[in-house]
């Protein structure tokens, strides 16, 4: 490690694939990463574990640990590994066994996760946004009220307003501190409501974001989602934040202006997903950064390295 290397303390807020992509890129530039992860997932395997064992949904947390690891491929394989022998543990992935062991050793799931970076070769740490068992409640554009993250993401209606039940659950230890004492905060990419705004609903998060003096960077999704952000333009994304926070807090917005390969775009169209339309040129108090950020792969994702380079440049410029 070179002396005087610029390795800023970055706090990221999100969940899902978007957050993994971001962490995968940022870990190459700084070891001082804190990922605040949404824990409102109630579908799939995470939802099952949540129901059966009463633990926080570990899916996104596990994915973040993998994304932060020094050898991501190997860690991913290890976390997915299942023992072939019969027995009660054989159905579980090694990743879940690992988190279970860490929880048992440290006395709680969150402490287990917090201590994880001490035993695994990962750059940074992962914090669940809250330790409370909460569910999301969304008022949709068609007037319906839907409960539970998996139902929200499955409904084919835009979200109008998101709430947590019970409301304002306490933030997990260190979460608010991670927002207050870093060199920059990155929100997104990720599902606007169920991965990003959900994190803002924990107690103390909005005031902390409002008062934080360091760059607050929003990375807008490249594509809309068929449900919660159906046909959303950039202005709609920003309006959603404003609605839930009360004011615009972003000092930077990073948007993609690169084009999606036709074949890929067609596939997304069939799922009613389109590139987020950039319908505004300026946003008061905020610098909009336009870049080609598309990773040329099977899925439309941000290119981890291109995205990280822009974030690092912003933080470096703000350090001066």
Chain residues binding a second copy by CB under 8 A are 1-3, 69-71, 74-75, 77-78, 81, 83, 85-90, 94, 97-98, 100-102, 104-105, 115, 117-122
Least distance in angstroms from the C-beta of 4 to a second copy? 9
Rounded to whole angstroms, how far apart are CA atoms 132 and 115?
Answer: 19
User: Which residue lies nearer to a second copy by CB, 1 or 263?
Assistant: 1
User: Which residue lies nearer to a second copy by CB, 6 or 83?
Assistant: 83
User: Which residue lies nearer to a second copy by CB, 2 or 262?
Assistant: 2
Rounded to whole angstroms, how far apart are CA atoms 305 and 74?
Answer: 20
Tokens describing residue 207: 């005031």
- Radius of gyration of the chain from Cα atoms? 19
CB 315 within 8 A of CB 30: no
Alpha helices in 181-218 (DSSP H): 198-200, 205-211
Rounded to whole angstroms, how far apart are CA atoms 135 and 233?
Answer: 27
Least distance in angstroms from the C-beta of 126 to a second copy? 14
Q: What's the half-sphere exposure (Cβ side, CA atoms, 13 Å) at 281?
A: 0
H helix or E strand, kind and range, residue 177: helix 175-180
User: Which residue lies nearer to a second copy by CB, 8 or 275?
Assistant: 8
Least distance in angstroms from the C-beta of 42 to a second copy? 24
Cα-based distances in Å from 230 to 37, 95, 201, 270, 275 = 23, 34, 22, 13, 11
Least distance in angstroms from the C-beta of 190 to a second copy? 26
Least distance in angstroms from the C-beta of 90 to a second copy? 7
CB 289 within 8 A of CB 215: no
User: Which residue lies nearer to a second copy by CB, 101 or 257?
Assistant: 101
CB 7 within 8 A of CB 55: no
Least distance in angstroms from the C-beta of 274 to a second copy? 39
Least distance in angstroms from the C-beta of 318 to a second copy? 25
User: Which residue lies nearer to a second copy by CB, 71 or 292?
Assistant: 71
User: Which residue lies nearer to a second copy by CB, 23 or 138?
Assistant: 23
């Amino acid at each position: 490690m070179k002396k005087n290397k610029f390795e800023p303390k970055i706090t990221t807020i999100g969940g899902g694939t978007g957050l993994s992509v971001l962490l995968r890129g940022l870990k190459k530039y700084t070891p001082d990463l804190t990922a605040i992860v949404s824990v409102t997932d109630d579908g799939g395997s995470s939802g099952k574990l949540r129901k059966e064992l009463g633990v926080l949904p570990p899916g996104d947390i596990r994915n973040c640990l993998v994304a932060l690891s020094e050898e991501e491929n190997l860690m991913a394989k290890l976390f997915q590994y299942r023992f072939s022998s019969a027995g009660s543990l054989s159905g579980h992935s090694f990743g879940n066994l690992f988190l279970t062991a860490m929880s048992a050793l440290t006395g709680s799931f969150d402490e287990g996760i917090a201590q994880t970076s001490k035993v695994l070769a990962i750059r940074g740490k992962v914090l669940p946004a809250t330790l409370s068992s909460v569910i999301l409640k969304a008022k949709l554009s068609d007037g319906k009220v839907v409960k539970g993250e998996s139902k929200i993401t499955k409904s084919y209606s835009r979200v109008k307003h998101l709430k947590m039940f019970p409301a304002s659950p306490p933030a997990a230890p260190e979460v608010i501190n991670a927002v207050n004492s870093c060199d920059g905060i990155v929100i997104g990419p990720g599902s606007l409501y169920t991965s990003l705004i959900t994190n803002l609903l924990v107690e103390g998060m909005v005031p902390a974001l409002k008062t934080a003096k360091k760059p607050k960077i929003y990375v807008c999704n490249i594509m809309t989602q068929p449900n919660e952000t159906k046909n959303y333009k950039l202005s709609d994304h920003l309006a959603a934040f404003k609605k839930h926070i009360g004011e615009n807090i972003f000092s930077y917005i990073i948007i993609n202006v690169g084009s999606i390969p036709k074949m890929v775009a067609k596939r997304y169209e069939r799922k009613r997903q389109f590139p987020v339309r950039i319908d505004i040129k300026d946003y008061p108090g905020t610098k909009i950064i336009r870049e080609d950020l598309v990773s040329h792969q099977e899925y439309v994702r941000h290119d981890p390295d291109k995205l990280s380079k822009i974030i690092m440049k912003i933080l470096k410029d703000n350090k001066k």
